[in-house]
Amino acid sequence: MRPIGIRIEYVKAKVGELRNTLGLKKIPISVEDVIKSYGIKLRYVFDIQFPTLVRYNERYAIFIPPSINMQRERWSCAHEFAHFYLKHYETFPVSRFINGHYIDLLSEKEIYILERECDIFVAEWLLPKEQFLEMVKFPVTLDQAQNLKKIFNVSLDSVINRLIELGVIKNRKELIIEEPHLKAVNRELSDRLLRSVLGIRKV
């Protein structure tokens, strides 16, 4: 069996199943506790660039590079857990360990489908739609996005992507940079941060 399309509704249903099974209502969610509750080992490994889910003799482990920041580590571990929970390694011929190396057996398009399913899973899991939207106030500002980042313990980029995905804003440029109570110096700092996020150079 090979992946032929992104199963958006299926993935969302699986997130709902996970949340109901474990009673996940508290924000932010403890990703590490959930992963360990399924018997998955978390191990720091120095010679890898990204967290990786490994399956061996029906057991699973997530290898983590110690160099990434905590929010990125949390999101990436949740992504790898999604591969496990969606049974990607059991359902599809993702890879095989041959002559000491892991060999991808899927095409780039097929791998993209599975990766995208994991991205959807993590966004639905760590930034649940109802709770996320309840905390959004209009107009949406960069300052507010920073606050959401802290509440949900994810990166600013993840918050902005979720705002776009849920139709709150159309693109990053719609984020309002200033609020009436901000002082001039804070406005300048916020301006620098927004330019950094958007990749804009000051002219």
How many domains does the chain divide into? 2
DSSP-assigned letters across all residues of 26-77: SSS--HHHHHHHTT-EEEE-TT-SS-EEEEETTEEEEEE-TTS-HHHHHHHH
Indicate if 114 and 28 belong to the same structural domain: yes
Give rounded-to-5 percent helix, strand, coil for the chain: 50, 10, 35
Indicate if 55 and 117 belong to the same structural domain: yes
Indicate if 32 and 115 belong to the same structural domain: yes
Q: Look at residue 96 in the predicted model and tell me its pLDDT.
A: 52
- Tell whether pTM > 0.85: no
Tell me, what CATH number does 107's domain have?
1.10.10.2910
Q: Is 149 helix (H, G, I), strand (E, B) or coil?
A: helix
Higher-scoring residue by pLDDT: 190, 199? 199
Q: Is the pLDDT of residue 198 over 60?
A: no
- Looking at 79, 105, 126, the residue that finishes a domain is 126
Indicate if 169 and 71 belong to the same structural domain: no
Which of 30-34, 43-47, 147-151, 199-203 has the least mean pLDDT?
A: 199-203
